[in-house]
Amino acid sequence: MTKRELWFWLSGIPGIGAMTARALLKEYGSLEELWKLKTEIVEESGLMNLRQKNAFLYSREKDAIKRRFDEMTRLRIEMVTCEEDIYPSRLKILYDAPIVIYYKGKLPDEDTPTISMVGARDCSGYGREVALHFAASFADAGIQVISGLARGIDGFSHQGALEANGRTFGVLGCGVDQCYPRQNLDLYLEMMEKGGVLSEMIPQTKPLPANFPMRNRIIAALGDAILVVEAREESGSLITVDQGLELGKDIYAIPGRIMDPLSAGCHHLIRNGAILAQSPADVLAGFEHYEQLTLPLSGGKLVLDSKEEKVYACLDLVPKNTQFIVNETDLTPQEVMECLDRLEFRGQVREASRGYYMKAGLF
């Protein structure tokens, strides 16, 4: 068994996490000694419970380990161990830092700023547009975007960064050989080229519910700051926030409508000291010490004619139907449609669904 195969073995023992693995290494001296432990010593160990001891003993099948290791290599999955120089330094602040990180694509650049973006899986159209716009703005400024490749805000955060030709990284709650959810497969594949996906979980690990709180601590650690776009009051995103607070990260939150349950978590964070983020510039202000950033954000003032101004002014990130716009502007239906066509052509509004229009980002 090579040393890398031994790291692969130790990181994949069911029920033995990073803290237990480190305790075992400290107690028994090395990977090689750990592999050779006699059954009676394992059974007498006070570092593992009965289930962990059984998993440890049954895991030492050399041929099976080598087959899985070779399969990982065939799939071009990389691994970095906690003793290597390229191990992400941002993870070292975790008291239970992973002993191995598996990845496809690249790892986040150590010298480039990062932001973790999290939020609701069942997000609103407002949340989607905010995530896309903020992520694109961060990418334009030179910030790497970290998220969890989940449905909703995570996926739109990755998408926004990619559309701006930025670098984005997904932390998975399964092996990196799998895309979960499958609806994000296109993102998963594109991220291999413009960033990467990573996990502490050995390839072939299924996306079990218990895995996701564990991966959240990695999302929290990899970001220099954390932005919550949309979250219910009892939201998994707030677990990431709690972990970020323990690590001393700045927390930003997007405000929403006061009666919207999807904004309740963000409003709770703001009441309790999170930084209000009304525009990407509010977040970028916290990154000004990075000299390589492209600050301030580029972008000029919109130039609209008087009718277009009326139409644009009554839109926001909540879709409005054309009759609402007619009523608000006192323009004819034909005039409204002509304005909407011009605004849509210039990328300033978009049709969210048939006959319903919204701003295409924040200006």
Residue 104 lies in a domain: no
Residue 295 lies in a domain: no
CATH code for position 342 = 1.10.10.10
Mean pLDDT across 102-117? 97
Of 14, 48, 74, which one is at a domain's C-terminal end? 74
Residue 292 lies in a domain: no
Say which amino acid occupies 39: T
Residue 319 lies in a domain: yes
Please check whether residues 283 and 310 belong to one and the same domain.
no
For residue range 176-218, what is the model confidence (pLDDT) as tens digits? 999 999 999 999 999 999 999 999 999 999 999 999 999 999 9
How would residue 297 be classed by pLDDT, with cut points 50, 70 and 90?
very low
Tell me: pLDDT of 129 over 90.
Answer: no
Q: Which residue(s) pair with 100 in the sheet?
A: 81
Q: Report whether 172 contacts 145 (CB < 8 A).
A: no
Residue 103 lies in a domain: no
DSSP run (H or E) holding 146: strand 144-147
Residue 323 lies in a domain: yes
Residue 59 lies in a domain: yes
Q: Which pTM does this prediction carry?
A: 0.85
Mean pLDDT across 148-164? 96
Q: What tokens were used for 173? A: 């709650």
pLDDT at res. 299: 45
Which DSSP string do the residues of 95-133 spell out, in sequence order? TT--SEEEEEE-PPPTTS-EEEEE--SS--HHHHHHHHH
Tell me: pLDDT of 335 over 70.
Answer: yes
CATH code for position 230 = 3.40.50.450
Tell me: pLDDT of 362 over 80.
Answer: no
Residue 79 lies in a domain: no
Of 227, 255, 287, which one is at a domain's C-terminal end? 287
Please give the mean pLDDT across all residues of the chain.
93
pLDDT at res. 300: 47
Q: Determine how β-strand 275-276 pairs with β-strand 250-253.
A: parallel
pLDDT at res. 100: 98
Q: Determine how β-strand 78-81 pairs with β-strand 100-105.
A: antiparallel
Please check whether residues 152 and 276 belong to one and the same domain.
yes
Q: What tokens were used for 361? A: 């980002």
Tell me: pLDDT of 312 over 90.
Answer: yes
Please check whether residues 143 and 267 belong to one and the same domain.
yes
Q: Which residue has the higher pLDDT, 350 or 326?
A: 326
Q: Report whether 69 contacts 46 (CB < 8 A).
A: no
Q: How many CB atoms sit inside 10 A of residue 87's CB?
A: 18
Tell me: pLDDT of 298 over 70.
Answer: no
| Alpha helices (runs of H) in 203-298, residue ranges in sequence order | 211-222, 237-246, 261-271, 280-284
Mean pLDDT across 244-273? 95
Please check whether residues 248 and 316 belong to one and the same domain.
no
Q: Which residue has the higher pLDDT, 290 or 218?
A: 218
Mean pLDDT across 290-304? 62
Domain that holds residue 18: 1-74
Please check whether residues 152 and 283 belong to one and the same domain.
yes
Q: Which residue(s) pair with 320 in the sheet?
A: 357
The secondary structure of residue 202, as a DSSP letter, is: P
Residue in the block written with tokens 């052509």: 345
Please check whether residues 58 and 135 belong to one and the same domain.
no
**3-state percent helix, strand, coil for the chain, nearest multiple of 5:** 45, 15, 40
Long-range contacts of 46-50 (CB under 8 A, 24+ apart): 47/20, 47/23, 48/16, 48/20, 48/24
pLDDT at res. 301: 57
Please check whether residues 126 and 272 belong to one and the same domain.
yes
pLDDT at res. 323: 95
Nearest to 309 by CA among 331, 324, 327: 331
Q: Report whether 56 contacts 49 (CB < 8 A).
A: no
How would residue 329 be classed by pLDDT, with cut points 50, 70 and 90?
very high
Number of independent structural domains in the chain = 3
Of 26, 51, 74, which one is at a domain's C-terminal end? 74
Please check whether residues 125 and 269 belong to one and the same domain.
yes
Residue in the block written with tokens 């608000």: 328
Tell me: pLDDT of 252 over 50.
Answer: yes
